[in-house]
Amino acid sequence: MAEPKWLKDMNKDEYLKEDFDAKGKSKYTVEGIDKNDPDWLDKAAKKVHAAEGDDYVKLDSGLLTVNQINWMLRNTIGEMTFVDNNNQFLWYNRPTDPNHKMLAKRTPEQVGDTMKTIHPDVRDVIPNAKKVVHALRTKQDGHDDVYMPVPNGNLKKLILHYYKRVEDDEGNYAGIYEWVQDLYPLVKYFCETTGQKLVVDDDATTGATYRRNSDPDAVSGASTKKAQVKEEKKTEEKPDTSTGASQH
């Protein structure tokens, strides 16, 4: 994912200290149950006598049943997850369609797992996840959220991972809320209804990494395509036999 500069510059020795085994304890940790137990949700809910089904829940600005909350969250745009301040994965908005392919796949059996368990130990996945968690836990440089676009080779698939620091009523760190969404359908609809166009800005000073790993042709406008054709003709007329096409 494309990290912002302030996140890249973080002290590696500090953020790698994040305890992804969730060995600590938060105010709401349900004790006595293995966090990585695939039946953690049912066992933990039973232990704390959790509300369910048609039980009412009084929220800070509403009164809903558990069913109503579930229905609303399942149908909310984007994929949402919540991890508490002890790095334990506690919730995600499960898709209504069991065949739906999630952008950031989660399963019911993962609920309750530690952050170490739900992240594959390949490449820099865990170190990068620790970086984001530590940044939001400590409000690195005053930041309380992180935007991470995902270069995927197609500018018609604008996947964004958004991480938001969650605080309690006193402003203390309570966990992280993650929202994942392909923004392209929203951008496409906005452009169609307002008569605007999504094009690559060749003069932009930001987003170079994203553009380098994506396909500008996917959403480039007429002016961009015209410039591309012009460049191709130029290459045909004056082939570069000494330095290669990359020097044009």
Residue pLDDT, tens place only, 39-67:
999 999 999 999 999 999 999 999 999 99
| pTM score of the predicted model | 0.81
CATH number for position 51 = 3.30.450.20
Residue 246 lies in a domain: no
Domain residues for the domain of 226 are 189-238
CA–CA dist 232, 72 (Å, integer): 51
Residue pLDDT, tens place only, 72-118:
999 999 999 999 999 999 999 998 887 889 999 999 999 999 999 99
Residue 244 lies in a domain: no
| Burial category of 157 from C-beta neighbours within 10 Å (exposed 0-12, middle 13-18, buried 19 and up) | middle
3-state secondary structure of 65: strand
Structure tokens at 55: 């039980």
Residue 22 lies in a domain: yes
Instruction: Say which residue the tokens 């508490």 belong to.
Output: 84
Residue 243 lies in a domain: no
| Burial category of 105 from C-beta neighbours within 10 Å (exposed 0-12, middle 13-18, buried 19 and up) | exposed
Listing DSSP states for 132-173 in one string gives: HHHHHHHTGGG--EEEEE---S-TT--EEEEEEEEE-TTS-E
Residue 20 lies in a domain: yes
3-state helix, strand, coil in the chain (%, to 5): 35, 20, 45
Is 80 exceeded by the pLDDT of residue 228?
no
Is 90 exceeded by the pLDDT of residue 190?
yes
Task: Please state the domain count of the chain.
Answer: 2
Residue 247 lies in a domain: no
Mean pLDDT, residues 170-179 taken together:
97
Mean pLDDT, residues 150-164 taken together:
89
